[in-house]
Amino acid sequence: MLAALLLICSAAVTPDLAECSRDNATAVMRLPAEFFNPAICFMHGQAYLANTSIGQELTYNDRVKIVCARIETINFSVLQLRVK
C-alpha cells in the first residue's frame, strides 16, 4: 500500500525541486487515503491539494512535490520525527 505526502517548497529556498524534502518544505500534508497504484496515488494527491486552502493559495514562488511511498516507510519516518 502507498501513501501520498504533499510537500510545498519555496523556489527561493529550494530552486531545484529534487531538493525539496520534509525538512525544508513550508507545508507537509499526508493524504488520509491509501493506494495500490502509484499513478492513482499521484492523481489523488493533486486533486486533494487542489481542494485545500493551501492548494488554492499557492503563489508563483511555491513548488509542489508529491511523494508516494510505502506506508511502512512513511509511518516509520513519522515515528522517527516524533522521537527527536
pLDDT, one tens digit per residue, over 47-77 is 999 999 999 999 999 999 999 999 887 755 5
Q: What is the pLDDT of residue 20?
A: 94
CB atoms within 10 A of CB 55: 18
Which three three-digit cell numbers place residue 36?
495500490
d(CA 3, CA 72) in angstroms, rounded, equals 9
How far apart (Å, rounded) are the C-alpha atoms in residues 21 and 77?
Answer: 12
What does the pLDDT look like over 7-19, one tens digit per residue? 999 999 889 999 9
Name the band, by pLDDT with cuts 50, 70 and 90, for residue 82: very low
